[in-house]
Structure formats: C-alpha cells, structure tokens
Structure 1
Amino acid sequence: METGEVLVIDLFAGPGGLGEGISSVTHTNGNKPFQIGVSVEKEPSAHKTLTTRAFYRKIKELDSGLEDYFNYVRGKLTRDEIFELYPQQAQEAFYETLEEPRALGEDNELIHTRIRELLTTHQGPKIVIGGPPCQAYSLAGRSRNAGIKDYKAEDDHRNFLYKEYLKVLSIAQPDVFVMENVRGILSAKLNGKVMFPQILEDLRDPGLVTEVSDVAKYRVFSLVVEASDPNDPQYLDSSDFLIRSEKYGIPQARHRVILLGVRQDIDRVPDTIQPMEQSVSVEQVLSDLPPLRSGLSKQKDIQKDWEEQVQINANKLKNILKSRFDREAVDNLNLEPMLGLERQSSRFLELEHNIPAHIQNWYLDNHPGCVLNHATRGHMTSDLLRYAYSAAFTKLSGGISPKARDYPLELAPAHENWDSGAHADRFRTQAANKCATTVTSHISKDGHYFIHYDPQQCRSLTVREAARLQTFPDNYLFEGTRTQQYVQVGNAVPPYLAQQIGSVVMVLLESNYAGA
C-alpha cells in the first residue's frame, strides 16, 4: 500500500495515543499507510494536545519544521507564532480535529457530515479506531456509582456511548475497526445481565442497532488469542479479548479489552500481536530523566527547607527500617537528600540509556534535546516521610511496595479507615525492577499510588515519567495544566502497543488488497 491509502477515523481520541501508534506504522517500503482524517475529542486540553500533535505530524518533514517545533516546545515560540509560520499545516491540523472540542452524541450532525465528506474523496481502505469513555464500565467507576443515591446503570448515558461508535461504523463501514475499553467492560451489568456479549453482537451487526439498512457486518477477533474458527470467530472466554500490555514491551501492567473487527467481505484472518521475551522495568525507562525534588505544600516552598526536612526524615528512617530489614543493607541505603535539585527540569541529561533496544528509538527519535512536561507537584512534609519510607521499603524488599500494615504507627496518616484494609495500597511505590502498575487518571489527584522509586527524591511521578510508562515519545507535548496533563496521560492508550496493533491491521489490509 502506498502512503495515504488508509483513512483513519479516530473517535474518543483523548490526547491521541491510539492514533499516534497506528499512524506511525511504517511499511517496508518506508511509507506510512495510515493517515488520520478526523479525530474526535470533547475535553478541551486533550483536544489542544491532539491538535498540536496533528500539526507536528504535518510539519516534521518540512524544511525547518522540526527545528521550529522544538523552538515551540522549548518556549522560544508561542503556539500562535508557530501556527503563523505554517498556516496551511495549522489549518489542516484544526480541520483534522474538527476546529474545536466535539462530542459524539452532542455534535453528531457536524461529526457525521465531516466523516461523509472524507468518504466521498477517499476510495481506499479505511479504519475506525477509538474507545468510548469508560467511567461507567470501570471497576473504580462502578464502585463510585454504587455510592450515588438512586443510581441506575440503565440511565447512565456513559453505558451507551459505544452506540455512538456503532453509528459511525454504520456510516463509514470501514474495512477494520479497533475498539478499546477497560477490563471492567467484561463484567459490567445492566439490569442484572452482563453487557459484554451484547456489545459483541452489536459490533458484529451495527446496522441492526442503528436501524440503518445495507450496513456491513463484521467478524470480531482477539488480538492475542487465535480464533478456532476464522469464519465464525467465537472465543471460549471473554477474557480472550484482554491484552496485558506488559507482555508486549510496555513498562506497565495495563490490562485493556481491545477488539479487532474485520468486515465480513474481507476473506482474511488477522495475525495476533506477539509477546516479547523480556518485560520492561520502570527504572529502564525513567533512569535517564533529570532527578527532581518535590515541592512543599501547605507552606512556603523553599529548596533549603525541603533538603533539611528530607535530611531529618533520613535519620528517622534508618532507625525505623532497621527494625524490619538487615541493618547492613539499611546502612548502605542512601537516604540523604540530593542537594540543589529543582522542581522542574527540561535539561536532557543524555546519560547512558537503559531503555531496551526494541523501544529506544520509539522514545528518542526526533528528540527535542530537552525534557517536556517534567515538573513535580507539592507534598505535605508528613507525606515526604511516608514517600521516602515507601520507596526505601520497596528497594530493600526487592520490589514489594509496603501495605498499610507495613507502616509503623508513627507513619500512619490520620485516616479513619487506615487500619480497615480498605486503603491497604494508599501509598504505592512504582518498583524500579518491575513494570509499573496501571497508570490511571487518578494520578492527577495526589500521586500517592505513583511514588518514584528513588527515596532521595521523595515525590510522585511527573507527567513525563507517566508518559514514558505509557510509551509516549519524548517529543510528545501535553498541553493544558499539569492536572489536565496527568488526566490525559492516564486515560490514553499506550502508543507503542497501538503501533503493534496497527502493524497487524496493515498486514491484513495489504494481504486483502493484494489478492483482490
């Protein structure tokens, strides 16, 4: 297939993780066959990130395009100034992202009209990608909903946003669709009935739900388990559709349901993505980023005060840890504060990278020579001690983050439920020698679940560190406030996983059209 032959319609796009991965797939002839025609996103900061990235893709091959983009992310050019340098590409980027935030279900007339416009000018293969928002399906979301008086799942519009996906399938009738969602979709119930089998049936025949005639039907495949019958791909267990990202080169235990739909007239069976021999650890993808100190909240933030507090904590921690771990190991553990640390740094240290070879270029190609979105949040002084304890405990235990029961009484926070077992993981260190736990949008709240493995830094992860765990390239700029950036990263699909899925789709389409 030649460059630009495959039209991509990206729904519920977020900051663009799924689109980034699929659009980066490269054919052996050097062409990139997937071209994003439209990306739909309603959250303003994510939409801004999405538009910036669309603009980057359009200028990076132009003379001075990369250099000007780097000047923008380094703060030497404003967003308006760089758009003025490339007015045509800026216009195309805004066109791609529908000029402003748009929501399926609310802006359907505009969105559907745009999709139809694209279909009239594109005669080649096309794919629809995206995952309907998952708050109502997620286990955490269902727990929150259970606490809402008179909550009824059948009245929650979020349970039915996938039907907006079906409407687009009915309009575009793509060769292939990729639909992503949280693990909780497998067990979510409506009126006491598990929803997932019905969702599968709806995706196999979208026209039946949308009441549109002459709509193509689809076979729905797992990307990790081969179908026993390619012509009728029924799977023994719904968990066959679950992708465990850490098995596929992602430094994070992110388990997501991803469905691959293939139009029935395409007589081809997709490959599965292949597991990688070695997992990728947190330290491998974070160790080359500049060390930072946390801020001090609830008081004036002064570097010297932070250093003094961490020093006081170090002395306390030595005694606390010796009651549990080998005294010599504790004595050899450096808990002293790193002096002179800043709260944010764009300085790319260019240390020797520990990033595994299979993913190093993915992160570092077209590197801006600086680190983006790398700034810390503030923490209370009492939490500095808990963070240092958690990180030190995790290091001394070989990678086991302490539970609530592992904290001495003097470090217990003043929470009524601390000893109940309900908050056993309230503080969680991301162990250096393991893949991370799932990066979620909760990282925007307080960072307690995402403590950096280095006890000398006493802090939670930055947006850039979370983005590394999600496999966003280093030149990917997240727009908006820091809180908004965390939410974007936490809600995204890992782009490197999306690239592997895109490669499967490319092989499938090439095989089909070559044999047509």
Structure 2
Amino acid sequence: MRNKLNTIELFAGCGGFVDGFERTNKYKALACVEWNIKPYEVLKNRMRNKYNYNDTEQRVLRFNIQRTEELINGWYNDVEYGNGIGLSKLVEDNKVDIIVGGPPCQAYSIAGRIQSENAMHDDYRNYLFESYIEVVKKFKPKVIVFENVEGILSASPGGISIIERITEAFSECGYSIIDDIRKNALLDLSDFGVAQKRKRVILIGLNKNVFGENHDKILKDFYNNKLLKYKSETVKSVYDAIGDLPRLMPRDIDAKIGRKKYSHFPEITEYEEHYPRYHNKRDIEIFKELAFDIEIGENKYSSTEALKRLYTEKTGKESNIHKYNVLKWNEPSNTIPAHLKKDGLRHIHPDYNQARTITVREAARLQGFDDDFKFSGSMTSDYEMIGNAVPPEFAKRLANCLYQLFEEHGLV
C-alpha cells in the first residue's frame, strides 16, 4: 500500500475538501479546524462513521482560528470552546505534507460587497488568511491549497488588493504561487465532474525549500498539464445529478409530519434530506408557470425584465434584480450558494409538475456529495454548509493530481 500524505484542514466546514481527499485513500487528516457548531458536528460524524477516525473528539477542533496561538498550543476552560489540545500535539512528530483551506468567502464575494454599505472593507473575514498563514509558518508543509471565490481577485479591503496581500504573505513565508491567477488558477468546477457552474480560485503554493529553484516551472506544469488531465470528458448535467430522485408533487392540503411542515407535498422519501421547504400556493403557481414555459419552449421569461415584471405582477412588489431561475435538465446548475438557506427562488426544480425549489439532498448532489453523507437535519444550516463547501468530486480530482506531483518529486 502506498504511503499516505498528512494534511491539516483549516476552515473545514462540513468537509467537502476532507471528503474528496479521503475518497482517494491517499491522505490522512492529522487535524481539521472549524468554528461553526453545525458543520463541525457533521464533519466529526462523517470522519468517524465513514472514514473510521476513532478520535474525532480530539482530531476535529472547534475553535476560532483567529486565536492562532491557542489553536496551535491548546486552550483550556474556554466558555464557548471548552478544552482542546491544539494542533501541535495532534501533529506531534508527523510531517505535514499539505495544509488545505479557504477562509469564509462572503467578504470576497461580489454579491456580498454590493449589499454592504462600505463594500465589506471592515469585515474581519478579509483578514482570516493571516491566521491561515500563521499555521503555515508553524508547520511548513510541502504544499498549501488555498480556495476562494472569484470575487477575491477584485477585493481590495483598505484599498489594497487582497490577492497582492496573499501573494506577498505566501512569498515571505517561503511559498511560490502561480502568476496571472485569473488566467491559470480560476477554475470552473463543472469541468471537473461537478453538475454546477462554479468558478473558484484554487491556489497551489509550493514550498521553495522542498521544490527548489524550479518551483515556478513546476507550478505552471501543474496547472497547464497535470490538472487539465483530471477534467471530465463530458459536462455533468442537472439530470445526471438529480434526475433519479423521487418526485415530490404538490397536493391540496397542508400537513405536519414530525417536526417538519410540508405544504402541498407528500411525505418524506427514503432519501434523507429529500423534502421541500414550505411553499405557499402563489409561489407554487409561479414555479409551475416558469418551468412549463421552458418545457414547451416558449421562453417568454428568458429575459431579466420579463422575470422582474412577473415578480411585480404576482407579488405587488418591485425588485432591481430578478428573483427566479429554473434549473435546466440538460445543463449544469447555476452556482449553489449559502444563500439557499434563505430562499431557493434561483434554484427552481426543472419539472413543472413538482413546482418547487430544490431540496437539501438535491443541492448536495449538485455539489457532488454522496447520498450517504448525513447533514445536520436543520434545513437552514444544511443549505448553508452545502453552499459553502468545496465540491467533494473536484476535491478528489485535485487530491489525486497533488499526489501525482508528490510521487514525481519523490515526496511520498
């Protein structure tokens, strides 16, 4: 059996990166860090029940990464986080091969900046990469993986480009990243087996002391040759991802099933988290009309203005942006966002007979999570953690590509 590479996962969320890396059977997670309680519990359970980590109470750390010194050395009797032995004791004498993570992206997203009064210049999440860097400095991995939204390329908190800050910080602690990030490192994950148009910046940093003077040449080869070989031959569609799931049809009465309310829909299916959120009759009629329009090829709602007019006609309100989007069976989904926790109007199911937005399980499938991936049971939290996650299928392909890099340089 080939040797496994050791990773530390920062900003781990519910474990999209972790799940992808574990699928390869080539990696061992020395530690994972996540501060949000719901995804922390999901990640902990997944690692224990699926990947047989028996010490997840210690290995998966719930802590604020901004308190970096304590994260590394341990914390005790904390009112919110209790006790934790810290990363150093978890790593012990093991070499850290890769540190993986992407700070929360809301402060980098274009949508987030538009909605913020000061374009999120003061948002603390702009600077979480500095804590990431401190962990890198401590453990000096051979490779770092830094993932974020496309908006990071134009974000300038404090008037200084965040990419310039990140590039300079990586260089100062001995890591080389690719030049012309937009050209080389901005990837559409639908090219990598994900049934979703999802552009993400994927920065690979090489330890200059490990890879030597040719680090820039190695990086260019990684992006322009190695990684391209892990692209899919065909693009995965919405139908490929969710077409076999049980249909959830409207009905004429409301019902309560257990703790959850279902309006106009049948009882829960055998698939966990495959049940719709509450929809009132007005919205059901809108969903049916929009999806039927696409089904018959009339396409009278194909323009933004037409969708805005429909919204005003149906609700009596006005909006500067169009609220609705119907997924198309034969295309990838639009990006699955954390905003799904608030509404699913931009992710309407393509079957006009079902007349609803997508379920948690459908969102998970569009992100590439397996059906045995168990979420928290809270619809709001589950939509959010799925939208924030790295698609595991992409993570798996990236992990295999990185392992190939390590093999070629005699580092396994």
Normalised by the length of structure 2, the TM-score is: 0.86
Who is 1:166 aligned against? 133
Are 1:195 and 2:162 matched, yes or no? Answer: yes
SS at 1:133 equivalent: coil
- The alpha carbon displacement at 1:143 in A equals 1.2
Q: Which residue of 2 aligns with 1:455?
A: 352
Contact preservation (8 Å) 1:295, 1:379? no
Q: Distance in 2 between matches of 1:120 and 1:52?
A: 24
Classify 1:432/1:170 alpha carbon distance in 2 versus 1 (closer, same or farther; 3 Å).
same
Q: Deviations over 1:305-356 (max 9, x none)?
A: 977xxxxxxxxxxxxxxxxxxxxxxxxxxxxxxxxx624211xxxxxxxxxx
Write out per-residue CA displacement over residues 227-256 of structure 1, whole angstroms, 9 at most, x where no aligned residue.
Answer: xxxxxxx33x53422110111221100001
CA contact (8 A) 2:68 2:131 kept: no
Provide the residue aligned with 2:83 in structure 1: none
Distance in 2 (alpha carbons) for counterparts of 1:122 and 1:377: 46
Do the aligned partners of residues 483 and 58 (structure 1) sit closer, same or farther apart at CA in structure 2, a change above 3 Å counting? same
Q: Aligned runs of 1:372-387 on 2, under 5 Å?
A: 372-387=272-287
Tell me how far 1:179 sits from its aligned partner: 0.5
Equivalent residue number for residue 102 of structure 1: 63
Question: Is 1:413 matched with 2:376?
Answer: no
> Does 2:400 match 1:503?
yes
Paired residue type of 1:22: F
Match of 2:293 in 1: 393
1:468 aligned partner, one-letter code: R
Percent identity between matched residues is 29
- C-alpha contact (below 8 Å) 1:400/1:431 kept by paired residues: no
Counterpart of 2:126 in 1: which secondary structure?
Answer: helix
Matched with 1:318 is none
Give the match for residue 321 of structure 2. 423
Q: Conserved in 1, the CA contact under 8 Å of 2:288 and 2:352?
A: yes
What is the distance in 2 between the residues matched to 1:158 and 1:462?
29
What are the ranges of 5 or more consecutive residues in structure 1 without an aligned counterpart? 26-31, 60-88, 207-216, 222-233, 308-340, 347-370
SS in 2 for 1:174: coil
How big is the shift at 1:162? 0.6
CA deviations on 1:237-276 (whole Å, 9 max, x unpaired) are: 5342211011122110000111001111233623324332
The reply on whether 1:142 has 2:88 as its aligned counterpart is no
Distance 1:295 1:159 in 2: 46
Q: Unpaired runs of 5+ in structure 2?
A: 75-85
Equivalent residues of 1:391, 1:401 under 8 A apart: no
Pair 1:2-2:2 in alignment: yes
Q: How many residues of Structure 1 are paired with residues of Structure 2 in the alignment?
A: 384
- 1:122 paired with 2:94, answer yes
| Equivalent residue number for residue 82 of structure 2 | none
Q: Distance in 2 between matches of 1:33 and 1:277?
A: 24
Choose from 198, 201, 206 the match for 1:257: 201
Indicate whether 1:33 and 2:26 are aligned: yes
* Structure-1 residue corresponding to 2:78: none
For the structure 1 residues 401 and 264, does the alpha-carbon distance in structure 2 shift closer, same or farther, using more than 3 Å as the test? farther
DSSP-derived class of the 2:40 partner:
helix
Q: Are positions 1:284 and 2:284 aligned together?
A: no
Deviation for aligned residue 1:153: 4.6
- Structure exhibiting the larger radius of gyration computed from Cα positions: 1
Match of 1:338 in 2: none
Partners in 1 of 2:5 and 2:120 — Cα distance? 37
Aligned-residue offset at 1:465 = 0.3
- Shift in Å, 1:400: 9.3
Q: Which amino acid aligns with 1:282?
A: V
Displacement after TM superposition at 1:108 (Å): 4.2
Deviations 1:441-470 (A, max 9, x none): 111112111100001111110111000000
Aligned amino acid, residue 149 of structure 2: V
1:218 to 155, 175, 181: 175
Specify which of 333, 337, 344 is matched with residue 268 of structure 2.
344
1:223-242 residue pairs with structure 2 within 5 A?
234-235=179-180, 238-242=182-186
Query: In the TM superposition, what is the alpha-carbon distance from 1:152 to its structure 2 partner?
Result: 7.2
- Of 248, 272, 275, the residue aligned with 2:227 is 272
Q: Is the 8 A contact 1:112 1:168 kept in 2?
A: no
Q: CA deviation at 1:203?
A: 1.7
1:173-215 deviation line (CA, Å, top 9, x unaligned): 0011111011100001133333212211212223xxxxxxxxx
TM-score, reference length from structure 1: 0.69
Compute the displacement of 1:409 (Å).
5.7
Cα distance 1:481–1:374, how it changes in 2: closer, same or farther (>3 A)? same
Mapped to 2, the partners of 1:410 and 1:218 lie a distance apart of: 50
